Amino acid sequence: MLDRFPSYTLNFIYNEIRVLEEAGFRIALYSLLPATTCPAEARDYLARTCNVRPVPWRGFLRAWFHYLRRRPRRLLGMVLRLPLDNDRPAQALRTLAHLGVAVYFAWLIRDHGEHLHAHFAHKAALAAHVASRLNGNSYSFTAHGSHTVYRAKRLCLRSKVRHAAFVLAVSEFNRRTLLSLYPDYPPGRVAVSRCGVLLDQYPFTERGPCTPGPSRLVCIASFYPIKNHETLLGAASLLASRGVDFRLDLVGGDAEDRRQRLTRLADQLGIGERVRFHGVVDHGEIARYLRAADLAVLASLSEGIPVSLMEAMALGTPVLGPRVTGLPELVEDGVTGLLADPRRTEEFAARIAEILADTGRAREMARRARRHIEMHYDMTANSRARAELFADFLATRDGLA
């Protein structure tokens, strides 16, 4: 179960599905919202995905009457309790809206006894939680990033964690955060399960000497405000004022209003001619942008573990990331790349200049980065480990182990 599937940013999930099915699992795919875009690598999954929304009003009424007859106390208990499991009134109102859809999802799968797994600790995890409470399924979810870190985004997180059979965290930082928020939850039921890259698709290339012309910077990120392109553009403006010759490629982003705002900001900062907006590209094209770059940079205010930086590190492209959440687990500052405070434009500019000025050091960090990816972020190995985790849990649940 996912909030919206497929999309251009979920390639790690496609591989997880493939590995799970190779291990013998039967996977049914559900998406709360229909996909707005579909990369080439996900076309088969698009055809297999059942979209919960838009919810037909007759189906909605049938779902609620079904559970009012069969599970009235459980249903009404969630209506009363889940909105209170939030820190802010706006979250309580959103919970009620999402609860209506979640009950319909529960009704859709009412005759199935399978384990439910949700990716991202937000709406999909809430739907899995509600279906589990109404139908008796076991469920788990993967906590990726800001929905565990930011208070404003913790939608009923306490209830989701309390009733989950287990929780997967994409970083040790996320695991520690969850356990600090809910110390009564058994620590052994929160496991670190990292994402990764397909190493054969991202072969390492040793960087050669600098070529004449401007340095190439690339940022691969959606245009959500959390990605904080403003700091990156501000740092680029400082570099331009200090005589650094560069071009900045912004790849990704499907929010047209944000793109227009960032385009205006680049013009206001006097770097409009240096910044190129490439929009959303197929995931198969990402490696081409990374190989052409002298530095891959990300300035997000919060992250899970960004796959775009993993891909850059696998290829041998030096990286600069934000010093937030679980990023130091991926990028060891000064060893496998550089980190900077995403709220300090001056620091970001200084670190970009630092890595562009010392190509020998950049090459050495890139070599160590590739080894780090091979050891900890091999997508196939990590997906196989998840498959074993699911198999162990289901065997124990069903009394087979």
Which helix (H) or strand (E) segment holds residue 30: the answer is strand 29-33
Residues 335, 32: Cα–Cα separation, whole Å: 41
Are residues 267 and 250 part of one domain?
Answer: yes
| Model pLDDT for residues 43-54, shown as the tens digit of each residue | 899 999 999 999
55 and 133 assigned to the same domain: yes
Exposed/middle/buried for residue 91 (C-beta within 10 Å: 0-12, 13-18, 19+): middle
**8 Å CB contact between 373 and 310:** yes
42, 89: one domain:
yes
At 334-359, the pLDDT tens digits run 999 999 999 999 999 999 999 999 99
Pair (274, 231) in one structural domain: yes
* Co-location of 362 and 222 in the same domain: yes
Q: How many CB atoms lie within 10 A of CB 149?
A: 19
Model pTM? 0.91
| Domain of residue 241, residue span | 199-376
Burial of 229: CB neighbours in 10 Å, binned 0-12, 13-18, 19+: buried
Q: Are residues 46 and 166 in the same domain?
A: yes
Give yes or no: residues 387 and 333 share one domain. Answer: no
pLDDT digits (tens, 9 = 90+) for 300-324: 998 889 999 999 999 999 999 999 9
Q: Quick check: 282 pLDDT over 90? A: no
Query: Could you tell me if 129 and 224 lie in one domain?
Result: no
Domain count, the chain: 2
CATH number at residue 106: 3.40.50.2000
Q: Which pLDDT score, from 0 to 100, does residue 254 have?
A: 67
Q: In this structure, are 189 and 221 located in the same domain? A: no
Same domain? 38 vs 186? yes
Q: Does one domain contain both 65 and 167? A: yes
Residues 365 and 388 in one domain: no
- The pLDDT score that the predictor gives to residue 36 is 87
pLDDT digits (tens, 9 = 90+) for 63-105: 999 999 999 999 999 999 999 998 888 889 999 999 999 999 9
For residue range 190-209, list pLDDT tens digits in order: 999 999 999 999 999 998 77
